[in-house]
């Protein structure tokens, strides 16, 4: 079952008092859960220990790891809040309480589900650590999903894919997102999972051989050019992620170049571009396949350079280049901020990077129509995102298929309400046109320009729809009052 030393080793360097806290939480939780069993007949304590292990691997602080060990004591044991506070203080009780409250509302139809999601988002805005503990808890539960009832199995798996994984992705936690999806995939879509397994096995071997040759040649060239490399490794695409991509390419695996990607980790940004130059001097890049997420990070904070190259004999390979810090952030996202925060005191760094979290808290919804809320939620926060630029180079993060109307309202409601024209990439465009990743958008306004009912059909974000609806309602009321005034 492991011991507290295993957790301490996984978490890395920490002060002595933090080690003592983890040991104390371990002993306390083990005593509290004594005699309890899980569905698979294993001791209940195994679950909280595995949850704490996931948190330690994510590089979370000692209090979060301790709260992971204790996250079920208030709900499932005789321990009360006072006892816990006496032993561990307010902060840990706050975290445990947060996780407990998130667990009390189960998925019973859309209404309860929406309400539990709202609790989830409010917990996020209060303290992100609560949500990270919940992710770890969910991931371990998914890994033991085979032991529960069939209908429940499917429901938990789908909820994990539709809500937990996209949320982890928006927090930049790529590793966790992939693990949640892959653990849920066989239970949510068993047939499709089998197909992907089969396709992947066939393709993996030839891709690995191809990348080995590329890796050997690249190492030689980097040494020759005196570029210090922290690591060169392979990354195998997560199965669920591959399935989603296969759907876009009519299940033709030959059209997917990044099943296995080569990853080059260097010490600084300058070396990232140096490596890119060396790669392109050896192999020819595929046109349109060079992506510089260092200059323009993804909306979730992901930074890296991706290039796809022809390696000869009809083979193609993707190479990703990044620094050590970018590598940690790509895997752990917001959790990396907790791990790095002592080394670089950037106050409010994660809040500014994830300002959409505050928007989630204020996200308006009608409980009378929870399906609509879930629909908007997926569109506004969880769908694939595009980033579009203002003429000054500011990045606006929007859902895929957004129009210039969405862009205008995301800058200011007043700009949205008075759009008279738009230029996309320097050319006059329709205000109803679909924006693409990387577009530069310039909005023109006039005082007498205003929304019409047609605008709602061409807006994707609920923010734009809300402002258009409000404008139309207010103005139809005003015109009614004016006509009443005239008739009297």
Find residue 263's DSSP bridge partners.
233, 320
Higher pLDDT, 284 or 328: 284
Average pLDDT over residues 132-147: 90
- List Cβ neighbours of 177 (8 Å cut-off, separation of 6 or more): 165, 166, 168, 169
What is the predicted pLDDT for the residue at 460?
A: 85
Q: Which of 100-114, 146-160, 467-481 has the highest mean pLDDT?
A: 146-160
Three-class DSSP category at 345: coil
> What gap in Å lies between CA 195 and CA 243, rounded to an integer?
9
> What gap in Å lies between CA 215 and CA 374, rounded to an integer?
45
Catalytic residue from among 18, 75, 115, 359:
75
440-458 burial: b if 16+ Cβ within 10 Å, else e? ebbbeeeeeeebeeebeeb
Residue 261: its H or E element: strand 260-266
Average pLDDT over residues 285-306: 88
Higher pLDDT, 107 or 117: 117
Task: State yes or no: pLDDT of 279 exceeds 90.
Answer: yes
What is the predicted pLDDT for the residue at 367?
A: 46
Q: Provide the residue ranges of all domains of the chain, joining segments of one domain with +.
A: 4-187, 191-332, 384-487
Find residue 429's DSSP bridge partners.
422
> What gap in Å lies between CA 155 and CA 470, rounded to an integer?
37
**Residues 414 and 448: beta-carbon distance below 8 Å:** no
> What gap in Å lies between CA 288 and CA 308, rounded to an integer?
9
Rounded mean pLDDT of the chain? 82
Task: State yes or no: pLDDT of 340 exceeds 50.
Answer: no
> What gap in Å lies between CA 319 and CA 325, rounded to an integer?
18
Q: How far is CA 117 from CA 111, 112, 371, 387, in A?
A: 10, 9, 13, 26
13 — phi, psi (to 5°)? Answer: -60, 140
422 — phi, psi (to 5°)? Answer: -150, 145
Q: Mark whether 76 is an active-site residue.
A: yes
Token duo for residue 374: 């879930």
Q: Class of 191-332 per CATH?
A: alpha beta
What is the predicted pLDDT for the residue at 481?
A: 54
Q: Mark whether 221 is an active-site residue.
A: no
CATH number of 384-487: 3.10.20.30
DSSP letters, 276-315, are HHHHHHHSEEPTT--EETTTS--TT----EEEEEEEETTE
Find residue 37's DSSP bridge partners.
43
Nearest-CA neighbor of 450 among 405, 409, 419, 412? Answer: 419
Cα 319–Cα 349–Cα 95 angle in degrees, nearest 5: 105
Average pLDDT over residues 132-152: 88
**Residues 315 and 326: beta-carbon distance below 8 Å:** no
Task: State yes or no: pLDDT of 204 exceeds 80.
Answer: no
217 — phi, psi (to 5°)? Answer: -65, -45
What is the predicted pLDDT for the residue at 152?
A: 84
pLDDT tens column, 211-267: 888 899 999 999 999 999 999 988 888 899 889 888 888 888 878 877 878 999 999
Average pLDDT over residues 431-446: 89
**Residues 68 and 55: beta-carbon distance below 8 Å:** yes
Task: State yes or no: pLDDT of 41 exceeds 50.
Answer: yes
**pLDDT above 70: percentage of residues in the chain:** 81
What is the predicted pLDDT for the residue at 434?
A: 92
CATH number of 4-187: 1.10.3210.10
Structure-token match 């983890």, residue found? 22
Catalytic residue from among 6, 18, 76, 442:
76
pLDDT confidence band for 333 (50 / 70 / 90): confident
- List Cβ neighbours of 24 (8 Å cut-off, separation of 6 or more): 66, 87, 88
> What pTM does this model have?
0.70
Angle between helices 190-224 and 239-248 (to 10 degrees): 100
Residue 235: its H or E element: strand 229-236
322 — phi, psi (to 5°)? Answer: -160, 170
């Amino acid at each position: 079952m492991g011991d507290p030393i295993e957790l301490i080793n996984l978490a890395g360097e920490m002060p002595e008092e933090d080690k003592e806290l983890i040991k104390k939480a371990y002993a306390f939780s083990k005593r509290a859960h004594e005699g309890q069993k899980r569905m698979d007949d294993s001791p209940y304590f195994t679950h909280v220990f595995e949850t704490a292990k996931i948190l330690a691997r994510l590089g979370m602080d000692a209090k979060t790891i301790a709260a992971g060990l204790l996250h079920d004591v208030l709900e499932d044991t005789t321990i009360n809040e006072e006892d816990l506070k006496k032993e561990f203080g307010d902060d840990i009780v706050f975290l445990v309480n947060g996780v407990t409250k998130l667990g009390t509302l189960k998925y019973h139809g859309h209404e309860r589900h929406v309400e539990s999601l709202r609790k989830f988002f409010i917990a996020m805005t209060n303290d992100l650590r609560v949500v990270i503990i919940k992710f770890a808890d969910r991931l371990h539960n998914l890994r033991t999903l085979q032991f529960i009832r069939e209908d429940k199995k499917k429901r938990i798996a789908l909820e994990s894919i539709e809500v937990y994984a996209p949320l982890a992705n928006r927090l930049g936690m790529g590793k966790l997102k992939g693990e949640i999806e892959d653990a849920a995939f066989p239970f949510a879509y068993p047939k499709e999972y089998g197909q992907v397994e089969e396709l992947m096995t066939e393709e993996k071997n030839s891709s690995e051989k191809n990348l080995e040759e590329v890796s050997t040649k690249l190492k030689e060239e980097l040494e020759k050019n005196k570029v210090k490399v922290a690591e060169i490794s392979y990354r195998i695409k997560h199965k669920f992620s591959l399935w989603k991509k296969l759907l876009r390419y009519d299940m033709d695996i030959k059209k997917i170049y990044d099943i296995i990607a080569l990853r080059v980790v260097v010490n600084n940004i300058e070396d990232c571009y140096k490596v890119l130059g060396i790669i392109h001097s050896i192999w020819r890049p595929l046109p349109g396949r060079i992506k510089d997420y260092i200059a323009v990070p993804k909306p979730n904070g992901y930074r890296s350079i991706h290039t796809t190259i022809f390696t000869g004999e009809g083979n193609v390979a993707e190479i990703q280049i990044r620094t050590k810090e970018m590598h940690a952030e790509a895997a752990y996202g917001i959790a990396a901020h907790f791990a790095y925060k002592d080394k670089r005191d950037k106050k409010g760094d994660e809040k500014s990077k994830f300002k959409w979290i505050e928007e989630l808290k204020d996200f308006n919804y009608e409980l009378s129509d929870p399906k609509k809320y879930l629909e908007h939620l997926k569109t506004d926060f969880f769908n694939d995102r595009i980033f579009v630029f203002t003429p000054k180079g500011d990045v606006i993060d929007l859902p895929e298929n957004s129009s210039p109307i969405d862009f205008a309202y995301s800058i200011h409601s007043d700009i949205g309400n008075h759009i008279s024209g738009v230029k996309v990439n320097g050319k006059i465009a329709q205000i109803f046109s679909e924006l693409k990743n990387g577009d530069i958008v310039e909005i023109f306004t006039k005082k007498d320009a205003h929304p019409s009912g047609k605008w709602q059909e061409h807006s994707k974000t609920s923010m734009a729809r809300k402002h258009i609806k409000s404008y139309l309602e207010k103005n139809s009321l005003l015109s009614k009052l004016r006509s009443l005034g005239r008739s009297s």
